[in-house]
């Protein structure tokens, strides 16, 4: 069967038999691997990189429904550096701080230690190592578009244009890889992104797209507190209002204020029943039956219950659903198009949980939460817009933000949906969260405008330590 590539170069692809070793070149090195038996090619393929034709040494082709492409040439065209590692007899490729490894004649590619299983093994064709185009694209986070007819497969690979890997953020990237971090990460200095990257897998055999959206867990609470404070600015709510003003039959609600709910000092326990189909009203009714853990106003106790009640109050005062109010009050003005309340149909990166018996990660089920606490999803770019709106007083007044960034308990330096601390003498706000399959957080050095966002998709990661360490590394690398 004849295939035509650039320059009218013809390549004959037929059934291959196992023969003596062939010499294959990777970078400047050459090595010998056996030529392996392959099924008959089904049809030719035209593969371009960023719309440009490539003078392939061996023409791409479709076999067993999989489009095969020369590994070294495709990797180079996608901006990677490929070398041959003789001790392991593997091809090692480097791209945007990632290490991608493939052993010839296997169906496995590893990305920073994460395994991607290809549908077909690589094949030595006339001295050229051929690999499945789709999985090579995924390993390099390239975009793949396909137009297939019975006679010809046409594919374009667009190199990764979403990852940002500035040399100034290398220490942060190295640290996250060493920690086995999985998910989305961003570092920005004075509004300029110096690191924006996806780590690990995001579901099935897919690598994590830097522009992907993730559940943000308790980072959602900042939207709840901001909604209340916007209503305070408008004179529709007072921080001294009693809970009974909005829920008249709430037990001991006359001893609790809006301020206490915001600052986790109302005395509530933390949690409640979670599940799909549980309404906000259902959860409010359940909280009414729960005993208090502490006397109202006496101490700090982090409580999801209190923030559910705040979401309910937003709905009562605004006349809109919690999600609708946040949409038009914050998300639309800030052009946060990749943010909203999650449903089981939301296209977020998959979360993972670890099986304690096998120590293996597996995809988690749907993360069910309740309005006010952890229902939102977002992207790195959107969360950067959100946090910088506080630094720039874009949505809320400076006076309001100062209130939100003021600690109200000696036990925990918690304001309204934000924790406050000094890191090496720098005024820093932060928060972290977790939910089925996710571990998230952010930290923001306000003095020097250094922002770190981690939207992790491995439940149980020590995200608090990672936030502290990445903020310290970012401060050291960026602030001169």
Q: Which residues make beta-bridge pairs with 189?
A: 192, 450
Average pLDDT, the chain: 90
Is 185 domain-assigned? Answer: yes
- d(Cα 53, Cα 36) in Å, to the nearest integer? 28
Q: Are residues 291 and 418 in the same domain?
A: yes
- d(Cα 307, Cα 254) in Å, to the nearest integer? 17
Q: What is the pLDDT, as a whole number, of residue 204?
A: 86
The residue from 129, 158, 187 where one domain ends is 158
Q: Are residues 150 and 204 in the same domain?
A: no
DSSP secondary structure string, 180-211? T--EEEEEEETTEEEEEEEESEEETTEEPPTT
Q: Are residues 194 and 334 in the same domain?
A: yes
- d(Cα 352, Cα 360) in Å, to the nearest integer? 10
Q: How confident is the model at residue 270 (pLDDT cuts 50, 70, 90)?
A: confident
Is 448 domain-assigned? Answer: yes
- d(Cα 70, Cα 58) in Å, to the nearest integer? 7
Query: Is-contact 97 173, C-beta < 8 A?
Result: yes
For 10-47, the pLDDT digits (tens) are 333 333 333 333 444 454 444 444 444 444 567 888 99
Percent of the chain with pLDDT over 70: 91
DSSP secondary structure string, 426-455? EEEEEEEEEETTEEEEEEEETTTTEEEEEE
Is 164 domain-assigned? Answer: no
- Among 422, 469, 427, 419, which residue's Cα sits nearest to residue 447? 427
Is 455 domain-assigned? Answer: yes
Q: Are residues 379 and 254 in the same domain?
A: yes
Q: What is the pLDDT, as a whole number, of residue 55?
A: 92
- d(Cα 113, Cα 385) in Å, to the nearest integer? 32
For 85-131, the pLDDT digits (tens) are 999 999 999 999 999 999 999 999 999 999 999 988 999 998 899 99
Is 188 domain-assigned? Answer: yes
- Among 297, 324, 387, 339, which residue's Cα sits nearest to residue 306? 297
For the segment 343-365, the average pLDDT, to the nearest whole number, is: 93
Query: Is-contact 391 444, C-beta < 8 A?
Result: yes
Q: Sheet containing 419-423: give its strands across.
A: 164-165, 192-199, 183-189, 450-456, 438-445, 426-435, 419-423
- d(Cα 474, Cα 480) in Å, to the nearest integer? 11
Q: How confident is the model at residue 425 (pLDDT cuts 50, 70, 90)?
A: confident
- Among 128, 105, 109, which residue's Cα sits nearest to residue 36? 105
Q: Are residues 186 and 327 in the same domain?
A: yes
Q: What is the pLDDT, as a whole number, of residue 46?
A: 93
Instruction: Report the Cα 70 to chain-centroid distance in Å.
Output: 30
Q: Which helix (DSSP H) or strand (DSSP E) does residue 72 occupy?
A: helix 71-77
Look up the CATH number of the domain holding residue 36: 3.30.457.10
- Among 416, 415, 463, 465, which residue's Cα sits nearest to residue 435? 463
The range of the structural domain enclosing residue 71 comes to: 2-158
Say whether pLDDT at 246 is over 70: yes
Give me the number of domains the chain comprises: 2
- d(Cα 285, Cα 264) in Å, to the nearest integer? 19
Q: Are residues 328 and 288 in the same domain?
A: yes
> Phi/psi class of residue 348: alpha, beta or left (left: φ > 0; alpha: ψ in -120 to 50)?
beta
**By CB neighbour count within 10 A (0-12 exposed, 13-18 middle, 19+ buried), where does 328 fall?**
exposed
For 296-343, the pLDDT digits (tens) are 999 999 999 999 999 999 999 999 999 999 999 999 999 999 999 999
- d(Cα 406, Cα 387) in Å, to the nearest integer? 16
**By CB neighbour count within 10 A (0-12 exposed, 13-18 middle, 19+ buried), where does 28 fall?**
exposed
Q: Are residues 361 and 404 in the same domain?
A: yes
Q: How confident is the model at residue 424 (pLDDT cuts 50, 70, 90)?
A: confident
**By CB neighbour count within 10 A (0-12 exposed, 13-18 middle, 19+ buried), where does 292 fall?**
middle
For 124-135, the pLDDT digits (tens) are 998 899 999 998
Q: Which residues make beta-bridge pairs with 414?
A: 419
- Its pTM stands at 0.90
Half-sphere exposure of 326 (CA within 13 A, CB side): 27
- Among 336, 283, 340, 308, which residue's Cα sits nearest to residue 228? 308
Say whether pLDDT at 164 is over 80: yes
Query: Is-contact 83 90, C-beta < 8 A?
Result: no
For the segment 399-409, the average pLDDT, to the nearest whole number, is: 98
Say whether pLDDT at 65 is over 60: yes
Q: What is the pLDDT, as a whole number, of residue 41?
A: 60
Q: What is the pLDDT, as a whole number, of residue 304?
A: 97
For the segment 432-453, the average pLDDT, to the nearest whole number, is: 98
Look up the CATH number of the domain holding residue 453: 3.40.710.10
Query: CA distances (Å), 448 to each of 195, 428, 476, in order?
Result: 17, 10, 11
Say whether pLDDT at 205 is over 50: yes
Q: Are residues 149 and 182 in the same domain?
A: no
Query: Is-contact 19 69, C-beta < 8 A?
Result: no
Is 88 domain-assigned? Answer: yes
Is 442 domain-assigned? Answer: yes
Q: Are residues 398 and 334 in the same domain?
A: yes
- Among 455, 445, 453, 456, which residue's Cα sits nearest to residue 190? 445
Is 163 domain-assigned? Answer: no
Q: Are residues 174 and 75 in the same domain?
A: no
Q: Which helix (DSSP H) or strand (DSSP E) does residue 143 occupy?
A: strand 143-148
> Quick one: DSSP state of residue 251?
T
The residue from 107, 124, 158 where one domain ends is 158
Q: How confident is the model at residue 149 (pLDDT cuts 50, 70, 90)?
A: confident
Q: What is the pLDDT, as a whole number, of residue 377?
A: 98
Q: What is the pLDDT, as a whole number, of residue 101?
A: 96
The residue from 158, 181, 204 where one domain ends is 158
Q: Are residues 222 and 127 in the same domain?
A: no
Q: Which residues make beta-bridge pairs with 188?
A: 193, 451
CA quadruple 282, 288, 289, 290: dihedral sign: positive
Q: Are residues 132 and 200 in the same domain?
A: no
**By CB neighbour count within 10 A (0-12 exposed, 13-18 middle, 19+ buried), where does 192 fall?**
exposed
Q: What is the pLDDT, as a whole number, of residue 9?
A: 34
């Amino acid at each position: 069967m004849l295939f035509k590539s650039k320059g009218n170069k013809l390549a004959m692809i037929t059934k291959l038999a196992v023969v003596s070793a062939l010499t294959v070149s990777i970078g400047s090195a050459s090595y010998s691997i056996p030529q392996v038996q392959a099924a008959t090619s089904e049809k030719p393929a035209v593969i371009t990189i960023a719309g440009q034709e490539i003078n392939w040494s061996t023409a791409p082709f479709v076999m067993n429904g999989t489009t095969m492409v020369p590994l070294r040439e495709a990797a180079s065209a996608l901006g990677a550096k490929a070398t041959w590692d003789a001790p392991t007899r593997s091809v090692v490729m480097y791209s945007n701080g990632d290490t991608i490894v493939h052993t010839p004649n296997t169906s496995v590619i590893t990305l920073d230690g994460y395994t991607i299983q290809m549908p077909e093994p690589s094949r030595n064709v006339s001295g050229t190592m051929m690999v499945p185009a789709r999985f090579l694209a995924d390993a390099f986070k390239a975009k793949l578009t396909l137009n297939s007819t019975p006679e010809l497969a046409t594919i374009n690979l667009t190199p990764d244009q979403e990852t940002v890997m500035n040399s100034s953020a290398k220490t942060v990237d190295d640290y996250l890889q060493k920690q086995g971090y999985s998910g989305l990460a961003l570092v920005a200095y004075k509004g300029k992104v110096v690191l924006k990257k996806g780590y690990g897998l995001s579901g099935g055999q897919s690598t994590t797209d830097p522009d992907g959206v993730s559940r943000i867990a308790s980072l959602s609470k900042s939207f709840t507190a901001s909604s209340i404070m916007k209503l305070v600015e408008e004179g529709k709510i007072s921080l001294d209002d009693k809970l009974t003003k909005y829920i008249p039959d709430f037990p001991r609600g006359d001893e609790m204020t809006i301020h206490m709910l915001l600052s986790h000092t109302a005395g509530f326990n933390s949690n409640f029943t979670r599940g799909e189909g549980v309404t906000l009203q259902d959860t409010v009714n359940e909280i009414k039956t729960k005993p208090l853990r502490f006397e109202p106003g006496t101490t700090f106790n982090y409580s999801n219950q209190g923030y559910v009640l705040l979401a309910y109050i937003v709905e009562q005062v605004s006349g809109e659903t919690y999600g609708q109010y946040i949409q038009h009050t914050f998300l639309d003005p800030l052009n946060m198009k990749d943010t909203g309340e999650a449903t089981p149909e939301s296209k977020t990166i998959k979360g993972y949980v670890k099986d304690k018996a096998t120590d293996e990660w597996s995809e988690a089920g749907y993360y069910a939460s309740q309005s006010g606490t952890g229902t939102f999803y977002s992207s790195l770019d959107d969360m950067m817009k959100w946090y910088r709106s506080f630094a720039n007083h874009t949505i809320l007044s400076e006076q309001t933000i100062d209130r939100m960034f003021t600690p109200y308990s000696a036990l925990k330096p918690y304001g309204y949906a934000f924790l406050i601390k000094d890191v090496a003498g720098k005024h820093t706000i932060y928060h972290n969260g977790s939910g089925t399959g996710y571990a998230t957080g952010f930290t923001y050095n306000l003095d020097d405008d250094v922002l770190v966002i981690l939207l992790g998709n491995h439940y149980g990661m020590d995200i608090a330590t990672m936030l502290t360490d990445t903020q310290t590394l970012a401060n050291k690398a960026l602030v001169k």
